Amino acid sequence: MSVLTYIESNKGKIKKSAFELVSYSNELAKQLGTELVVLTINVEDTNELNKYGVSKIIKISNSELDNFDSKIFSNVIAQVAKHTNSNHIVISSSLDSKYMAPLLAIELDAGYLSNVVELPSKLNPFTIKRTCFTNKAFCESTIESDIKIIGLSGNAFGAIENETNSSSENLEVSLLDRKITVKSTEKVSGKISIADADIVVSGGRGLKGPENWNIIEDLAETLGAATSCSKPVSDMGWRPHSEHVGQTGKPVATNLYIAIGISGAIQHLAGINSSKIKVVINNDPEAPFFKAADYGVVGDAFDVVPRLNAKLKAFKAQNS
Amino acid sequence: MRILVCISHVPDTTSKINFTDDNKVFDNQGVQFVINPNDEFGLTRAMWFKEKQNATVDVINVGSSNTEPTLRKTLAIGADKAIRIDAEPIDGFFVAKQISEYLSSNQYDLIIAGRESIDYNGGMVPGLIAGLSKINFVTNCTSIEIDNKSAILEREIDGGKEILNCDLPLIIGGQKGLVEESDLRIPNMRGIMQARQKPLEVLSPFSSDFKTNSVKFHKPAPRKEVKLISPDNLEELIDLLHNEAKVL
Ligand SMILES: Cc1cc2nc3c(=O)[nH]c(=O)nc-3n(C[C@H](O)[C@H](O)[C@H](O)COP(=O)(O)OP(=O)(O)OC[C@H]3O[C@@H](n4cnc5c(N)ncnc54)[C@H](O)[C@@H]3O)c2cc1C
C-alpha cells in the first residue's frame, strides 16, 4: 500500500526537482498512513535523498536504461509498483515523465492526473487540485480507480528538509524490447533548461532584434537563470522554438520570471502564470503585463536591464 | 498511407474562462471554439503528407454535435472524412478508449494528436491510445518524415531535442515545429464548399468507464496590485526580490 515515487536523474545525478517530488510524496504517504518508497534508476549515490525524509529506496542499475524510452521505463515502473504493492504513484512534470505517464496508466489500469498542485483535499473520493485552461483556472478532480498516478507540477509544493536514514534495495527488472531507436540527442550545453530553472529571464518583441539578446543573456548568466521568449520572437526566428513560452509554447512554473519587452498578451500570461514571482520591465505603463506582475519597472529595457545586471552582480558578490 | 488526426474542440486562446452551475460546468456563453492549436499543427502536417505522399487524411473527435463546425473546418482545410463519436468526453481515458475502439476496426498507419489540449491540459490522450492500441508513441513531436513503413521524428526533450526512428503504425503528440505558424491554413471558399459534400460520420459511443472526473472549478485569486519601482532605484527591486519575495 506504499506510495511510490520515481525520481529522475541525469548522467547518474539526481535532478533537483526530485527533492520537491520526494517532499510531496512523503506528506502524501503520511496523509494515507503509509510509507514512501523512492525509485531511482542508475543513480550511484542516493545520500542526498536522506535530507528530505526518504527512508526506503529501490535502486535499479542497468546500462540498458541509460537512454530514456517511455515504453520501457513505464513498464519498469509498473513492475516496481507491483513489487511494492503501491496504489499511489507520484511522478514529476518533466517532459520524459509526462511522456511516460499515460503508458504507465494503461499498464496499471490506473487513473492519471497531470499538473497537480496540492496534496489531496479528500481521500474518499480521492480529490486533488490541478491547473487547467492553461493556468487560467484550477480544477478539483477525482481519481476513481484503485491505482492512482499523480503528476506533480514543478515548484508547486517546494522541498521540505527532514534528515533521516535510509535503506536501499537493489532490484532486478526485466526489460521490454526497444521499438524506438534514438539516433541522436542534442542538448544545449552549458545552459540551464527552462524546466530545471529557478529563475527565467524572458525577452519579447520589445527587444527589437536578435542582436540585442546579449542583455537578456547577460542578466540570465548573473542570475543562473534560463532564457525564454514570447511567441513572435521565436516565430520570427530571433530565438529557437524551444524558448517559446506561453499557452502554445512551454509552460513556465518557476520561482522568479522576469519579462522584458513583453506586452503580456493573454496567451503569454496563461503559460507563465503559475510562476511564483513575476517582474516586468516595459516602457509602456499601459502594457497588460503590469496587471499580472508582482513588481514592475516602467522604463527602456536597453537602459534598465544592463544597469540592473551590474547591480545584481554587485549584490551577488556581496552575498556569496 | 492512411492518417487519422485527433481533433479537440477548445475555447479560443483569447477566451475569458468562466464557470456556471455552482462552478461545476465550463461556461461557453460567448466563447468561440477552435481546433486545438497543437492539433492544428498536426492537421497541417497531415495535409503535407496528403499532397506530397498521397496520404488520405481522416479526422476524429469525441464530442457532442456542438463540435461539428470545428470538424467542418478541418474538412475545409482539406481532410477527406470526419468521424464524430457522439459522447460527452468525460476524461482523457474515456476519449482514448473511444478512439482506440475505433482503431480496432479501422486501420491507420499514422495517428496524429496534439501533445495536449489547451482546455483540460491533460496531455494524456495520445499516450493512452498508444497503450490501449499497443502502437508506437512519440510525444512533443516537432518533426516527422515517413519513408515507406518507417518514421524519422524529432522530439523535444528538456533542454534540447532528440531524433528518433521507429516503425509504423505510430501515434504522435504533435506541437509547433511539425509545421510553422505561417504554414497554417485558413479555409478558402472552395474548401468550404467542398467540405459540405464530404462525409461526416457520427458513431455511437463504445462502452467505457472513466478514471478521473473534473468536479469543481475555480479561478485564481485576484492579484495584488503590482509594486512599481523607479528605473532610477533598481536597488529597491533587488532588495524586494531578496527580502520580501525571497527569490534571490
Ligand atoms: C492561438 C494563439 C496562441 C498564442 N500563443 C502564444 C504563446 O504561447 N506565447 C506567447 O508569448 N504568445 C502567444 N500568442 C501571441 C500573443 O497574442 C502576443 O502576440 C505575443 O505574446 C506578443 O509578444 P510580445 O509581448 O513579445 O510582443 P508585443 O505584444 O509586440 O509587445 C512588445 C512589448 O515590448 C514593449 N517594448 C517595446 N520597446 C521596448 C523597450 N525599448 N523597452 C522595454 N519595453 C519595450 C512594448 O511596450 C510592448 O509591450 C498567441 C496568439 C494566438 C492567436
Chain B residues with CB-CB distance to A143 below 8 A: 211-212
Q: pTM here? A: 0.94
Provide the pLDDT for residue A196: 85
Each residue's pLDDT tens digit, A40-94: 999 989 999 999 989 899 999 999 999 999 999 999 999 999 999 999 999 999 9
Question: Is A34 an 8 Å CB contact of chain B?
Answer: no
Tell me which DSSP letter residue B170 carries. Answer: E
For residue A299, give every residue at least 6 positions away whose Cβ sits within 8 Å of its Cβ, in sequence order, or none.
A281, A283, B231
Q: CATH topology of A3-170 equal to that of A194-319? A: yes
Measured distance CA(A259)–CA(A295) in Å, rounded: 11
Superfamily of domain A194-319: TPP-binding domain (3.40.50.1220)
**CB of B41 closer than 8 Å to CB of B177:** yes
Q: How far, in Å, from the CA of A238 to the mean position of ligand 1?
A: 13
Inter-residue contact A98 to B157 (CB < 8 Å): no
Which superfamily does B2-217 belong to? HUPs (3.40.50.620)
Q: Please state the domain extents for chain A.
A: 3-170, 194-319
Chain B interface, mutation test: which of A8, A115, A132, A245, most B Cβ atoms within 10 Å?
A132
Can the peptide bond before residue B126 be classed as cis, meaning omega within 30 degrees of 0? no
List, for residues A112-153, the tens digit of each pLDDT value: 999 999 999 999 999 999 999 998 999 999 999 999 999 999
Name the residue facing B215 among A141, A255, A296 (closest C-beta).
A141
**Any ligand 1 atom below 6 A from CB of A251:** no
Q: In what order do the strands lie in the sheet with B227-228?
A: A226-229, A199-203, A256-260, A277-282, A295-298, B227-228
What integer pLDDT is reported at residue A123 of this predicted model? 97
The domain spans of chain B are 2-217
CB pairs under 8 A between A and B: 248
Amino acid making up residue A168: S
**CA-closest candidate to residue B111, choices B228, B185, B247, B3:** B3
- Residues of chain A positioned with their CB less than 8 A from the CB of B94: none
Q: Highest-confidence range of A235-249, A296-310, B216-230, by mean pLDDT? A: A296-310
Q: A9 in contact with B at a CB cutoff of 8 Å?
A: no
What mean pLDDT is reported for chain B?
96
- Whether A91 contacts chain B with CB within 8 A: no
Q: Counting atoms of ligand 1 from 1, which one is nearest the CA of A232?
A: 23
- Is the separation of the CB atoms in A181 and B164 below 8 Å? yes
Ligand 1 contacts CB of residue A300 (under 6 A): yes
For residues B24 and B221, give the distance between their C-alpha atoms in angstroms, rounded to a whole number. 18
CATH code for the domain defined by A3-170: 3.40.50.620
Q: Let me know: does A277 contact A255? Beta carbons within 8 Å.
A: yes
Q: What are phi and psi of A304, to 5 degrees?
A: -70, -45
State how far the Cα of A280 lies from the Cα of A66, in Å rounded to an integer. 40
Kindly provide the ipTM of the predicted complex, given to two decimals: 0.96
In 3D space, the residue among B181, B150, B174, B137 whose CA is nearest the CA of residue B46 turns out to be B174
Alpha helices by DSSP H, listed for chain A, are 17-32, 70-84, 95-108, 214-223, 231-235, 266-272, 289-292, 301-318
> Would you call B48 an interface residue with chain A, using a CB distance cutoff of 8 Å?
no
